[in-house]
C-alpha cells in the first residue's frame, strides 16, 4: 500500500463513522485505541461498522476480515488498501 | 418448594400515555410518533439500533428491577430467570426485513436488528442485559401469553430453577398491511378501554420471587390456563371457566375479551358470576389482533393500587382461538392508606 492510497482515505472520516456507530465522541476514537478493550466494541457493533464501511467506500469486507479490525489505524490501512485495489 | 405462587417485588411499565404502574389501568392511548425516547429510557450505549420492542422491554425491566430495590443484583446469575410473552412483537420487523431482502438483497440486512427475526431474541437480549443465566423462555399463546408467563414462572420457581424471575410482556404495533382494516379503523375511534387492537406498543415487567423467600411488596400471584373450544364455546364455557376460576372467586375480575364466540361466552359466564357471587367484573374490550400486553398490564395495574388491607383480584383473558388464562392476585396493603391504618 502506498502513502498516496492511505491519504486518499481520510482517517477522520472513518473516525467519525466509527464514533457514530458506537455512540462515542469522536475524540475518544483515537488512532490506536483498542476497539474491543478500550472502546468496548463487541462483535455486533464491529459488524455494524463493517456494513457502514462497505457502503461508504463501496467495498466488500469478508467476515474473517472484521476480526482483524483492532484499531482505527488498522481499519484505515485496510480500507486504503481495499480502495486502492478495488 | 413453592406454594404455587410468586411474590411480586417490583413493577415496570413502558406504554404510550402511561407514566407509571399507577396509570396502568387507565384507558389505552394510541402511540404517537416519538412517544418512546431511547436516550431517556435507556441512557447509555448500545441501544439505539435495537428494534423498538426490544427497547420497550429493556426499559420496563430496568424500571421493575429498580423498583425492587437492587434485589435482582443480589441474586446469583444462575438463579435469575426470565419469561417473556410476545404475540405481534416482531411481526412488523419481519416484514421490514423481508422487504429489505427483496428490494436490496440480504447483504443489506442490518446486523443489529436482524437477529430479532428469531422471536426468542427479545427475551435473549433481556437476559444479556441483566446477566440472566438460570432460564429464559418466550411464550406466544394468543392474548393469554402474559398470564401464561406467570404460570410458567411459578412452575420454574417451584422446580428450583430460579430465585428471581422477570415476567414480562412486550408488543409492537403491526404494520398497516398486517393490521386488518376493521382493526385499524376501530383503533382510531378506540373506546374508553380499547387495547388499540393490533396497534399495541409497550412492555410490562414484574420482578418476581418465590413467596416466603421473596419480598411480596405488591402481593402474590398465580395463574392457570385452559382451552375453550370456539366451536363449542357457548355450551362448554360454564364448565371450563368454573374449573379455571374455582369456587372462591376474587372480589374483582378484569376480563380481557373480544366479541368472538369464546369472548361472548366468557362474558355471559362472568355475568352469572356477578349475580351469584357479587364479583365486580371489569370488561376490557379486546380484538383478534390485540396482542398479549393488556392482560399482564391489568395485573400490574391491579398490584399498583393501594389498599389498607389485602384484597383479592383476578385477570381473565380469552382469545378467539380458545386460549383462556386466569391470574389470581392477592394485593398487599401498601401506600399512604395502609400506613394511615397502622397509625
pLDDT of residue B335: 75
| Helix/strand/coil for B207 | strand
The kind and range of the H/E element at A12 are helix A11-22
CB distance B123 to B273 below 8 Å: no
Cβ separation of A48 and B48 shorter than 8 Å? no
Beta strands, E only, B140-209: 164-171, 202-209
pLDDT of residue A8: 75
In chain B the domains, ranked by start, together with CATH numbers, are 6-209 (3.40.47.10), 220-342 (3.40.47)
Measure the CA angle with vertex B193, ends B334 and B61; round to 5°.
50
Chain B residues near residue A51 by CB distance under 8 angstroms: 110-111
Q: Is the pLDDT of residue B341 over 60?
A: no
pTM of this prediction? 0.89
Cβ separation of B112 and A44 shorter than 8 Å? yes
Q: Which residues of chain A have pLDDT under 50?
A: 1, 86
pLDDT of residue B181: 59
Chain B residues near residue A48 by CB distance under 8 angstroms: 49, 110-112
pLDDT tens digit string along B139-183?
999 999 999 999 999 999 999 999 999 999 999 988 888 887 554
Of B91, B117, B133, which is closest to residue B292 (Cα–Cα)?
B91
Q: Give me the residue from A23, A24, A44 closest to B111, CB to CB.
A: A44
Pairwise CA distance, residues B265 & B238, whole Å:
8
Q: Is the pLDDT of residue B192 over 50?
A: no
Cβ separation of B110 and A47 shorter than 8 Å? no
Q: What is the dihedral of CA B196, B197, B199, B200, to 10 degrees?
A: 70
pLDDT of residue B199: 76
Determine contact: A4 vs chain B, CB below 8 A. no
Chain B residues near residue A24 by CB distance under 8 angstroms: 45
| Helix/strand/coil for B232 | helix
Confidence of residue B103 (pLDDT cuts 50, 70, 90): very high
Pairwise CA distance, residues B99 & B92, whole Å:
11
In chain A the domains, ranked by start, together with CATH numbers, are 3-72 (1.10.1200.10)
pLDDT of residue B30: 78
Mean pLDDT of B243-248: 95
Cβ separation of A45 and B46 shorter than 8 Å? yes
Write down how long chain B is. Answer: 343
Pairwise CA distance, residues B281 & B294, whole Å:
16
Confidence of residue B189 (pLDDT cuts 50, 70, 90): very low
Of B201, B226, B195, which is closest to residue B295 (Cα–Cα)?
B195
Determine contact: A48 vs chain B, CB below 8 A. yes
Cβ separation of A48 and B46 shorter than 8 Å? no
Pairwise CA distance, residues B268 & B28, whole Å:
24
| Helix/strand/coil for B255 | strand
**What ipTM does the predicted assembly reach?**
0.73
Amino acid at each position: 500500500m502506498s502513502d498516496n492510497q492511505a491519504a486518499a482515505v481520510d482517517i477522520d472520516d472513518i473516525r467519525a463513522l466509527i464514533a457514530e456507530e458506537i455512540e462515542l465522541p469522536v475524540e475518544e476514537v483515537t488512532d490506536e485505541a483498542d476497539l474491543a478493550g478500550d472502546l468496548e466494541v463487541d462483535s455486533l457493533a464491529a459488524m455494524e461498522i463493517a456494513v457502514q464501511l462497505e457502503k461508504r467506500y463501496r467495498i466488500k469486507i469478508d467476515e474473517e476480515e472484521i476480526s482483524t479490525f483492532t484499531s482505527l489505524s488498522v481499519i484505515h490501512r485496510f480500507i486504503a488498501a481495499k480502495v486502492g485495489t478495488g | 418448594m413453592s406454594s404455587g405462587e410468586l411474590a411480586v417485588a417490583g413493577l415496570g411499565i413502558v406504554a404510550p400515555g402511561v407514566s407509571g404502574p399507577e396509570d396502568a389501568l387507565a384507558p389505552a392511548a394510541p402511540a404517537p410518533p416519538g412517544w418512546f425516547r431511547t436516550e431517556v429510557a435507556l441512557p447509555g450505549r448500545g441501544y439505539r439500533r435495537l428494534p423498538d420492542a426490544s427497547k420497550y422491554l429493556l426499559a420496563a425491566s430496568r424500571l421493575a428491577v429498580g423498583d425492587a430495590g437492587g434485589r435482582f443484583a443480589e441474586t446469583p446469575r444462575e438463579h435469575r430467570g426470565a419469561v417473556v410473552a410476545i404475540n405481534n412483537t416482531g411481526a412488523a420487523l419481519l416484514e421490514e426485513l423481508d422487504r429489505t431482502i427483496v428490494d436490496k438483497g440480504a447483504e443489506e440486512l442490518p446486523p443489529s436488528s436482524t437477529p430479532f427475526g428469531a422471536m426468542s431474541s427479545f427475551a435473549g437480549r433481556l437476559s444479556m442485559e441483566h446477566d440472566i443465566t438460570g432460564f429464559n423462555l418466550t411464550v406466544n399463546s394468543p392474548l393469554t401469553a402474559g398470564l401464561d408467563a406467570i404460570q410458567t414462572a411459578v412452575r420454574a420457581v417451584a422446580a428450583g430453577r430460579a430465585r428471581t424471575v422477570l415476567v414480562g410482556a412486550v408488543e409492537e404495533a403491526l404494520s398497516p398491511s398486517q393490521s386488518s382494516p376493521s382493526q385499524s379503523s376501530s383503533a382510531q375511534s378506540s373506546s374508553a378501554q380499547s387495547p388499540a387492537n393490533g396497534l399495541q406498543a409497550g412492555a410490562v415487567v414484574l420482578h418476581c420471587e418465590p413467596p416466603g423467600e421473596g419480598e411480596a411488596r405488591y402481593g402474590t400471584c398465580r395463574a392457570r390456563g385452559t382451552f375453550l373450544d370456539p366451536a363449542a364455546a357457548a355450551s362448554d364455557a360454564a364448565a371450563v371457566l368454573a374449573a379455571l376460576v374455582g369456587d372462591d372467586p376474587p372480589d374483582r375480575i378484569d376480563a380481557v375479551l373480544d366479541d368472538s364466540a369464546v369472548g361472548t361466552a366468557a362474558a355471559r359466564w362472568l355475568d352469572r358470576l356477578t349475580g351469584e357471587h357479587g364479583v365486580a367484573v371489569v370488561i376490557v374490550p379486546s380484538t383478534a389482533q390485540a396482542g398479549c400486553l393488556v392482560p399482564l398490564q391489568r395485573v400490574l395495574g391491579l398490584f399498583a393500587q393501594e389498599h389498607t388491607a389485602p384484597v383479592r383480584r383476578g385477570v381473565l383473558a380469552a382469545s378467539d382461538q380458545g386460549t383462556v388464562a386466569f391470574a389470581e392476585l392477592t394485593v398487599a396493603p401498601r401506600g399512604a392508606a395502609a400506613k394511615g391504618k397502622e397509625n
